[in-house]
Amino acid sequence: MPIADDISIAANGDIRYTGAAHGASGSGYYTVLEFHRFLQDRADDQTSSGDDLMDISRETPSDKQFDTIITLLGSYNIDDTLAEHLYGGSIIQGGGNVIYDGVAVIAAADAFVEVVQNGALIANDFWNSTPFGSANSGLNPDPAQGLSHRFMLKVRTGGADIDGRRLLVQTREWGKTFSEFKINGTSRGVNVAALNFSNDLNNLTAVGTVAGFTDIVNLTAGYNQLDVDANSVAEPYYSRWDRGSRSINQFYERMKWLTRRGSAETLYGLNGELFRGITHEVAVTTPRSGTVAEGVAASWTGGTGQVLARDSGSTATKLWIQLLTGVAPTAGQTITIGAATVTAAAGTPSTERQVSFPFCGVSTGSALIGAYGFALETADLSVNDRLFDLNNVQRNPPNLVTFTVAGLVVGEDTVLVGPENGSGGLLLNQFTLNGALSGAAVTAVMVNGPIPADTPTTGTIRILRANGAYTRHPYSSWSGSTFTLASATNFSTNNAANGANCYISYIDKVADATTASFQATYLADRPLYVRRRDGGATPTKTFEGVATLGSAGGSITVQRQSDA
């Protein structure tokens, strides 16, 4: 439609859109330069006509600095509705008290684009003009220039910039890559936002299926310490997710589902669609007042944020926040967090941290390359996963492998797996005791030499007693050369001598399932001895065999031969 058919000019200076409704057939869209030319064309008329009360007798309506920057003069003004039909530059009016700036998005033609302004999603996403998935979903595209959307947004009103004219342009469409582009203060003219909007080959599961992955939960939503790389020194993170029964890629899809477009989920007190993860680390110091909570709002002069983690409730030295509006805290500023206050450390500016899209990191299909500070519980990680702690240090999980004995009969078979001696038998002297065990309530068993790092975190050991028996003892942990027994044991009447044999029984139980297994950290191939016995109502001959715990784990299936 010609621009003259779609715009009216009132005597009081109101310039309004009168054409077909936005998105409807015949709806008109014009560049700011076309709009200026239209006004100037009307301004040189000898007399006004129709609904355009503009002619040579009236004040000049607009001025052009550049083709992309138009200033409306005097009382002339547009409203938000007309602004939806203009693109390709800026409109300045009211003596600079109101500004609409142009945005151009570089993305695939079918990109669905969201804009966050002043900490909230702009609900009226008029720039997504046609249904998603159509040949052209964006408003005013220019495929030759790679532009999927061109539009204007109000960035100043009442003489004040809206959040410093900051905009966050993002895509969070299911099955597509998530991405974002920050405009840290729009300029007059056209502001370009480049987005990656393409098929995510690791996000192919139906959205309704992923909605059912409710066994994935965040066990610790806040500061916590985990020993991800199993070096006996814990590192700090701001989450501890349990992926339940799901694969690591299904976990990745669940994280996308929580933060997809239209999400009704809440993460750390924020709607999932707005959640980005940690954007800044802030060192804080005295004075402090009150207890700093996590998952709550924070504010300071010049900005707001959400506290995702703090290293202490009452004596915090660091905060990790998602910036929502304004700029991050500067040195010496007071930060208010509910009823608590802390002070940003002097001489220490806030450290900006890189965010990931989605917030958990990147999936390779079989592993997770985690975002800054993001973590799962250690049992849910594999050797191929990579995490980055809150110190921004990469942590590589150990290679946790599983050895399985199959072919067992529940309630009948007793199974023992121990170290192999190199000749196909059980290695009884894997360790020797460093000190006799003779007390009435022994809880620590020290052995000569270090306990191998591939020893399961919990399990059982067998110890040679004075009567010649190797008795079974569950341990709850180990460190260095000492096993900590799960419960105090009486060695006073049947002691264990200094130097007595001891070995790890990796599996040592009556079968309660058709398989039995243990998990350990792989360091090098470990030969294992396996024994299975059944002397019950339907007895079988003893099965003995050897197997290897390798880099991919290991297994053995026991054979059964009647001994009736």
pTM of the complete model: 0.81
Unique residue bearing structure tokens 């987005």: 195
Sign of CA dihedral 315, 319, 324, 326: positive
pLDDT, position 149: 95
How are beta strands 160-161 and 217-218 bridged, if at all?
A: unpaired
Picking from 399, 120, 123, the residue whose alpha carbon sits closest to that of residue 274 is: 120
Average pLDDT of span 146-160: 97
Other CB atoms closer than 10 Å to residue 135's CB: what's the count? Answer: 8
Angle at 15 between CA 10 and CA 21, to 5 degrees: 115
pLDDT, position 1: 62
Burial of 70 (0-12, 13-18, 19+ CB in 10 A): buried
Picking from 266, 459, 278, 442, the residue whose alpha carbon sits closest to that of residue 353 is: 278
Distance between CA 335 and CA 342 in Å, rounded? 5
Q: Provide φ and ψ at 39, rounded to 5°.
A: -65, -45
Distance between CA 10 and CA 28 in Å, rounded? 19
117 in Cβ contact with 127 (< 8 Å): no
Distance between CA 384 and CA 557 in Å, rounded? 28
pLDDT, position 59: 85
Q: Which of these ranges, 279-283, 505-509, 518-522, has the smallest mean pLDDT?
A: 518-522
Average pLDDT of span 547-557: 96
Q: Give me the DSSP letters along 83-117.
A: HTTEESSEEEEGGGTEEEEEEEEES-TT---EEEE
Average pLDDT of span 299-311: 97
pLDDT band, residue 49 (cuts 50/70/90): low
Q: What is the pLDDT of residues 417-461, one digit of tens each?
A: 999 999 999 999 999 999 999 999 999 999 999 999 899 989 999
**Which value, in Å, is the radius of gyration of the alpha carbons in the chain?**
34
Cis peptide preceding 287, ω within 30 of 0: yes
Q: Provide φ and ψ at 401, rounded to 5°.
A: -125, 160
- Cα–Cα distance list, 372 to 27, 470, 477 (Å): 45, 49, 30
pLDDT, position 134: 52
Query: Residues 156, 158, 164, 169: what is their CA dihedral angle, to the nearest 10 degrees?
Result: -40
Question: Strands, DSSP E only, in 313-377?
Answer: 318-326, 334-337, 340-344, 351-352, 361-363, 368-372
**Tokens encoding 419:** 């170290």
529 in Cβ contact with 546 (< 8 Å): yes
397 in Cβ contact with 385 (< 8 Å): yes
pLDDT, position 109: 87
Q: Check whether 48 has a pLDDT greater than 80.
A: no
pLDDT, position 82: 97
pLDDT, position 130: 64
pLDDT, position 349: 82
Q: Which of these ranges, 189-198, 284-293, 492-501, has the smallest mean pLDDT?
A: 284-293
pLDDT, position 347: 79
pLDDT band, residue 56 (cuts 50/70/90): confident
Work out the mean pLDDT of the chain and round it to a whole number: 94
How are beta strands 14-17 and 77-78 bridged, if at all?
A: parallel
pLDDT, position 69: 98
Distance between CA 353 and CA 376 in Å, rounded? 19
445 contact partners, CB below 8 Å, separation of at least 6: 433, 437, 461, 463, 473, 475, 482, 483, 485, 502
pLDDT band, residue 535 (cuts 50/70/90): confident
Q: What is the pLDDT of residues 112-126, one digit of tens each?
A: 999 999 999 999 999
111 in Cβ contact with 195 (< 8 Å): yes
Average pLDDT of span 492-510: 97
Average pLDDT of span 325-341: 95
Q: Check whether 135 has a pLDDT greater than 60.
A: no
116 contact partners, CB below 8 Å, separation of at least 6: 122, 167, 168, 169, 170, 274
**Tokens encoding 391:** 């110190």
Other CB atoms closer than 10 Å to residue 402's CB: what's the count? Answer: 13
Q: What is the pLDDT of residues 408-418, one digit of tens each?
A: 999 999 999 99
**Tokens encoding 98:** 């109101």
pLDDT, position 153: 98
346 in Cβ contact with 331 (< 8 Å): yes
- What residues form DSSP beta bridges with 184? 166
Other CB atoms closer than 10 Å to residue 377's CB: what's the count? Answer: 16
Cis peptide preceding 141, ω within 30 of 0: no
How are beta strands 318-326 and 280-289 bridged, if at all?
A: antiparallel
Q: What is the pLDDT of residues 23-32, one digit of tens each?
A: 777 889 999 9
Question: Is 283 in a helix, a strand, or coil?
Answer: strand
pLDDT, position 15: 96
pLDDT, position 24: 78
Other CB atoms closer than 10 Å to residue 357's CB: what's the count? Answer: 21
Sign of CA dihedral 19, 21, 27, 33: positive
Q: What is the pLDDT of residues 377-427, one digit of tens each?
A: 998 998 899 999 999 999 999 888 999 999 999 999 999 999 999 999 999
Q: Check whether 166 has a pLDDT greater than 70.
A: yes
pLDDT band, residue 316 (cuts 50/70/90): very high
pLDDT band, residue 45 (cuts 50/70/90): low
526 in Cβ contact with 549 (< 8 Å): yes
What spatial distance separates the first Cα and last Cα of the chain, rounded to whole Å?
Answer: 96
pLDDT, position 301: 96
pLDDT band, residue 51 (cuts 50/70/90): low
330 in Cβ contact with 230 (< 8 Å): no
Q: What is the pLDDT of residues 182-218, one digit of tens each?
A: 999 999 999 999 999 999 999 999 999 999 999 999 9
